[in-house]
Amino acid sequence: MHKKTTRTLGVLTALAMLLSAAACGVQEGGGRALSAPEATAPETPAPEPTEHIHDWQHGVCRSCGERCGHVWENGVCTICEENCEHVWEDGVCRSCGVSCTHH
């Protein structure tokens, strides 16, 4: 082989080895190249709750976690059917508005 061709092949081989090593993250001295911290996948948002009939337990739906906005009528919520835990003030409950002559 011609001397110039041999030198060109040697340079090309060395260059190919460097490129291959760089692709693997290896530095010239044999150690691994430092790379940027791996990006983590963005947090996936919680899926939208599907339409369902609320299963109310103590004012919170067991299926989706929604809290009841309580619409009181005669001391009982018309949405979740929870009984009011009356907070009496001058004979009237501050929560639901029901009145009682005993308080």
Cβ proximity of 70 and 82 under 8 Å: yes
Digits of tens for pLDDT over the chain (103 positions)?
Answer: 555 555 666 766 766 676 666 655 555 555 555 555 666 667 777 666 578 888 999 899 998 999 999 999 989 999 999 999 999 999 999 989 999 877 5
Residue 89, φ and ψ in degrees, nearest 5: -150, 115
pTM recorded for the entire structure: 0.44
Domain boundaries, the chain: 54-102
Q: How many CA atoms lie within 13 A of 22 on its CB side?
A: 6
Distance CA 60, CA 66 (A): 6
List, in sequence order, every beta strand (DSSP E) within 1-103: 56-57, 60-61, 72-73, 76-77, 88-89, 92-93
